[in-house]
Amino acid sequence: MAKKKKAARPASKRATKPASKPCPTRRSPCPIACTLDVIGDRWTLLVVRDLFLGRTRFKEFTASPESIPTNILSERLQRLLQSGVIKQVPASDGSKRLAYELTDKGDALRPLIKAVTKWGLQWEEGTRIGMTPLEK
Amino acid sequence: MAKKKKAARPASKRATKPASKPCPTRRSPCPIACTLDVIGDRWTLLVVRDLFLGRTRFKEFTASPESIPTNILSERLQRLLQSGVIKQVPASDGSKRLAYELTDKGDALRPLIKAVTKWGLQWEEGTRIGMTPLEK
């Protein structure tokens, strides 16, 4: 298996090289298929959305309006950790619990999230921006 | 249930209003959640990708390198039709069979597809653009 490359981080932009090993169940080398192997389901991008909005804790993700089932959330967080999209960090409240943060690879999903948002607002009737960034 | 609105099509740009009724199992009004209700799975965007590459027929979709199972393909095509992302058209070979085309709503997925492609190429090791537009 190819070894992961260490990402250099330019001053102006985020890192540009892979931060995790390829998905073992890859269907083709197509970048769309491979991206969908990582984030192609009904829940994963909602967790990524929450992270972009400043939510970092398991209980914060479960409090989102879609009411993600806890077993699905646990599984998706594990998958996002394995694929290098998120990382575990100490909770900001000083407790022993862990929180989650986007890695550079996860942060690079911002344009994709924006494109999804824009399409939804334009084409799915009754959608609206309702969630606000979490105050810390 | 809200009635679908007929999209007007400006000369310069694509239509700007919804072309289908809201998903009945909507989890929230969030545009990301609603978009994922339409295209959030491991296969649907691959069919959309194939349509952007000029593939229009059932057998062409099954010939793609990911080898989509025919039962999944049938189900996804039905869902894409119901959500107004694709439409059925007569096959270009003059046969009685039907083909599929992107609607304006489907064509508006292009920036999303590009964002997915870009992220995959940048962050998923070993990915490459391998499929070429279909010659007709």
Please check whether residue A134 touches B, CB under 8 A. Answer: no
Contact residues, A window 55-114, toward B, CB-based 8 Å cutoff: 64-67, 84, 105, 108-109, 111-114
Is B119 inside a domain boundary? Answer: yes
Is B64 inside a domain boundary? Answer: yes
**pLDDT digits 0-9 by tens, A25-76:** 789 999 999 999 999 999 999 999 999 999 999 999 999 999 999 999 999 9
Is A70 inside a domain boundary? Answer: yes
Is A91 inside a domain boundary? Answer: yes
**pLDDT digits 0-9 by tens, B1-43:** 444 444 444 444 445 555 555 556 789 999 999 999 999 999 9
Confidence of residue A15 (pLDDT cuts 50, 70, 90): low
Q: Into how many domains does chain A fold?
A: 1
Please check whether residue B30 touches A, CB under 8 A. Answer: yes
Is A130 inside a domain boundary? Answer: no
Confidence of residue A135 (pLDDT cuts 50, 70, 90): low
Is A45 inside a domain boundary? Answer: yes
Q: Which of B116, B125, B131 sits opposite A35 (nearest CB)?
A: B116
pTM, rounded to two decimals: 0.83
Whichever domain contains A50, its CATH number is: 1.10.10.10
Is B14 inside a domain boundary? Answer: no
What residues make up the domain containing A78? 31-123
Angle between helices A31-39 and B44-52 (to 10 degrees): 160
Is A21 inside a domain boundary? Answer: no
Q: Is the predicted ipTM greater than 0.85, yes or no?
A: no
Please check whether residue A123 touches B, CB under 8 A. Answer: yes
**What kind and span of H or E run contains A100?**
strand A98-102
Q: Which residues, at least 6 apart from A22, have a Cβ–Cβ distance to it below 8 Å? A: A1, A2, A34, B124, B125, B126
